[in-house]
Amino acid sequence: MNKKLEKTAGRLIQKLIDSVEGARLSQEMVKAGGLKEIMPGAPELLRTASAESCVLLKNDGTLPLDPAEPVAVFGRCQSDWFFVGYGSGGNVNAPYKVSLIGGLRNAGIKIDEQLYSEYEAWRAIEENMADEGWWGHQPFSYPEMPVSFELARSAAERCGTAIVVIGRAAGEDRENRLEKGSYYLTDTETGMLDAVCASFSHVVVLMNTGNIVDMSWTEAYEEKISAVMLCWLGGMEAGNAVCDVLFGKVSPCGKLPDSIARNYEDYPSSANFGGLEYNDYAEDIFNGFRYFDIHPEKLLWPFGYGLSYTSFADEITDYSRSCVRVRVTNTGTVPGKEVLQLYCRQPKGNIPKARRVLIAFGKTDELQPGGWQEVELSFNDSYLASYDETLSAFVLEAGSYAYELNGLDAGGFELAEPVTVQQCRPACTGLADVKNRILRGLPAETPKKDGPALSLDDVKAGKASLDDFISQLSDSELEALSRGHGMINSPLGVPGNAGVMGGVIPSLREKGVRPVSCCDGPAGLRIARYCSLMPCGTALAATFNTQLMEELHRLTGREMIKYGVDVHLGPGMNIHRNPLCGRNFEYFSEDPVLSGKMAAAAVRGVQSQGRASCPKHFACNNQETKRNTNDSRVGERALREIYLRGFEICVREAAPLTVMTSYNKVNGVWSHYNYDLATTVLRGEWGFKGCVMTDWWMKRSRSPEFPKLRDNAYRVRAQVDVLMPGDMGHIAKRYRSDGTLLKTLGREGGITRGELQRGARNVLGLILRLDAKKQG
């Protein structure tokens, strides 16, 4: 197919998808929604976050640049900057977006206009225009303008410094590829670097990417490249923020949330990633730095790395078993913030250990030269513990525990005897007798409360108990509470919603049960209104700044109130297991503590405004290939220490009101049917009290333990409360139940009314929480 035809076909396909989805992203709707209103304080906050996310990987002193000197800017992404990834986690309707060129102009920097005009003329040619493709088929990068040696040389006659932008995109439903233009540089990009490096003595490379991509070329160019900075997908203020760092308004203070290996094959998961049916997590707990600490020769830059324009002296002032205090002094010549990373070296013991685990982190305020601050980093035993599969428990083995803060010894303690930190139940292993576990946990039915018909308003007013109200709901009302309204962009919700749950049928609404609007996330609100577009998840993790994260999500919460959104479908918090995962940009890090703490901050921010967060995707959605059918085969220890740990921290520390399951299977059982995930672990062990929803649509299946139960009945038995958006993926069945939930109700081996009531309690509990906050 020629290019033009392909583009037209792509546009048609996108139109079709939009119409099936109810045109949730139609620009007409967004425009009809009104003014490009911007929340007070949002631009400044987003700019700070994006600047704090920049990770300076290399600098020979060229940065910060002198704002009085002109720069020559290469790479089309100077204008076609990638602000966020594709898919549900992107596509926020930002009121504006500042590209690098926009940022340079705003900062009053002189750029080489001649070179810029060459780029503009080239970008204006139809076949060179940035084409966004369609769902699952968006470009990984745009074709780059070829840069001849002559072009570079002539620009070098006018400017002393070149800035080169390399841009990469990624998105949902598709992996990045081990190809030029995705993981690797294209020949045109290499040609651009060759020409620029041969002509300029100062070359600054900016990486505009959400995923880690191949960086081995930085070694080949050696000192010809003066500075390399990872700018991520920085949201709508990205261009301003990057300039703040380039020209020294902000000293870089982002750190790598992921290890950068020299070769793709060096990543421990690379041999077991992308499987069409399953992936063996053969690397066990040795993901990210837990592996590279043992193989440092494979690294280009380690987890936690990032340069600054200033320097700091850290002095440990105190420590105990659960806390380290440090005094940080800015010993350099410019103001800056310091990130503090606290690791623990656990004793060798009987369980194989990583060399160190991250147990806490923090960030100072901006310190003036000579200024200092004391920071306390606290944690508890669970951060130091390992999961012992033979005991089904988190334990501290006997021996010495040594703390290390930014490379300094920071105390520790000795344990003469092992300690059990938490006794668990074996979960997701296929070993436990899940059938009996479920039967023992079956909830009793709440008998019908006689008397006048109750409404949810009576419960809100304290005139009736929630159980009494639930006891009066009919079977079909209980069924309706266990699924969404059946479509994306439901007319019952906020325009552009991803789905609506709660009052999805008239009789429920008559009883005071209102519809609950659920909207994507995580990079802001994805609705048919103008909303703040945030830096992507990985960028936010790179700030290592939980306070900033919380503040950003208070902003999300305020926008939710303004537009009537109830549930924010974020944060995305799957672990970065492999750099090719198409949705890594939405997620935080290879490390569960960084992921969990960042997610907890996001949840606290949104929920401080009386709205609900929905951390996702629970659990092990670590690849996009065949994401609805793929099986993540992972040992229980790695599951608990790496893939569930972030969710555990988030649930224990921030109590999200909802959680979304993942599409994939975990050890053979789809997450949306997974009793151990949703009930044994999430609620039983971590104390989750909210409502669990599926990711959008689910796969049909029969329960192996209870053969009479299939699909929605199988799901409700697992205590996955709500099927979203509500249908089984068949347009004809919208608005209607598929019948699988009530078919066996009250029959031998069937679903029980008690289970339906339990799900209703979780959904209505959410509404009560949302509305209580509203009133208060």
Q: Which of residues 674-713 bind ligand BGC (CB under 6 A)?
A: 695-696
Distance of CA 459 to the CA centre of its chain: 36
Nearer to ligand BGC, 396 or 569 (CB): 569
- By beta-carbon proximity to ligand BGC, the closer residue of 682 and 713 is 682
| Site string (571-610) toward ligand BGC, x via CB under 6 A | ----------------------------------------
Residue 550, amino acid: E
Q: For residues 121-180, which are near ligand BGC according to CB under 6 A?
A: none
Residue 695 annotated in active site: yes
DSSP calls for 209-229: -SS----THHHHHGGGS-EEE
Kindly tell me which of 193 and 659 has the beta carbon lying closer to ligand BGC.
659
As measured in angstroms, the least distance from the Cβ of 569 to ligand BGC is: 4
Give the span between the Cα atoms of 678 and 667, in whole angstroms.
14
Q: Cβ atoms within 10 A of the Cβ of 43, count? A: 17
| Strand pairing category for 499-502 and 515-520 | antiparallel
Question: Closer CB to ligand BGC, residue 286 or residue 663?
Answer: 663
Alpha carbons 459 and 401: distance in angstroms, whole number: 51
DSSP, residue by residue, 305-356: --B-SS-EEEEEEEEETTEEEEEEEE-SSS-B--EEEEEEE----SS---S-
- Nearer of residues 268 and 496 to ligand BGC, judged by Cβ: 496
Tell which positions 3-42 bind ligand BGC, by CB under 6 A: none
Instruction: Name the residue nearer to ligand BGC (CB basis): 161 or 574.
Output: 574
Nearest distance from residue 519's CB to ligand BGC, in Å? 8
In the list 393, 470, 534, 569, the residue contacting ligand BGC (rule: CB under 6 A) is 569
Residue type, 322: S
Using alpha carbons, select from 214, 217, 305 the residue that is nearest to residue 258.
305
What are the φ/ψ torsions at residue 129 (nearest 5 degrees)? Answer: -65, 145
Shortest distance, position 520 Cβ to ligand BGC, whole Å: 5
Given 388, 566, 695, 711, the catalytic residue = 695
- Rounded to a whole number of angstroms, the minimum distance from the CB of residue 694 to ligand BGC is 10
Query: Under a CB-based contact definition with an 8 Å cutoff, are residues 653 and 383 in contact?
Result: no
**Contacting ligand BGC (CB under 6 A), which of 616, 665, 672, 717?**
616
Whether the ω angle into residue 143 lies within 30 degrees of 0, i.e. cis, is no
Cβ distance to ligand BGC smaller for residue 56 or 523 = 523
CB of 88 vs ligand BGC, minimal distance in Å: 4
Interface with ligand BGC includes 568 (CB under 6 A)? no
> In 3-state terms, what secondary structure has residue 362?
strand
Least Cβ distance, residue 494 to ligand BGC (angstroms): 13
CB atoms inside a 10 Å sphere around CB 34:
9
H-helix or E-strand containing 665? strand 665-666
Contact (Cβ atoms closer than 8 angstroms) between residue 14 and residue 8: no
Query: What element of type H or E holds 404?
Result: strand 399-405
CB 221 within 8 A of CB 197: yes
Residue 328: which of 387, 267, 376, 286 has the closest Cα?
A: 376
> How many angstroms separate the CA atoms of 330 and 311, rounded?
6
Total site size for ligand BGC, rule CB under 6 A: 7
Q: Which secondary structure element, helix H or strand E, spans residue 456, and what is its range?
A: helix 456-460
Q: Is 483 in the site for ligand BGC (CB under 6 A)?
A: no
Instruction: Kindly state the helix (H) or strand (E) to which residue 538 belongs, with its residue range.
Output: helix 537-542
Give the Cα separation of 422 and 416 in Å (integer): 18
Q: How far is the CB of 504 from ligand BGC (least distance, A)?
A: 16
Q: How far is the CB of 459 from ligand BGC (least distance, A)?
A: 29
Q: Compute the distance between CA of residue 488 and CA of residue 631 in angstroms, rounded to an integer.
A: 27
Q: How far is the CB of 89 from ligand BGC (least distance, A)?
A: 6
Least Cβ distance, residue 671 to ligand BGC (angstroms): 12
* Pick 468 or 695: Cβ nearer ligand BGC: 695
C-alpha dihedral over 192, 198, 202, 207, to 10 degrees?
Answer: 20
Residue 88 binds ligand BGC, judged by CB under 6 A: yes
Nearer to ligand BGC, 94 or 166 (CB): 94
Query: From the CB of 410, what's the least distance to ligand BGC, in Å?
Result: 38
Cβ proximity to ligand BGC, 88 vs 99, nearer residue: 88
Q: Contact at 8 Å (CB) between 168 and 209? A: yes
Tell me which residues in 485-544 interact with ligand BGC (CB under 6 A).
498, 520
- Per-residue DSSP letter, 235: G
- Cα separations (Å) of 377 from 253, 328, 540, 776? 18, 13, 20, 33
* Beta strand extents in 239-280 (DSSP E only): 260-261, 278-280
Question: What number of residues does the chain have?
Answer: 776
| Residue 342 or 569 with smaller CB distance to ligand BGC | 569
Give the interface with ligand BGC as residue ranges (CB under 6 A): 88, 498, 520, 569, 616, 695-696
Active-site amino acid positions: 695
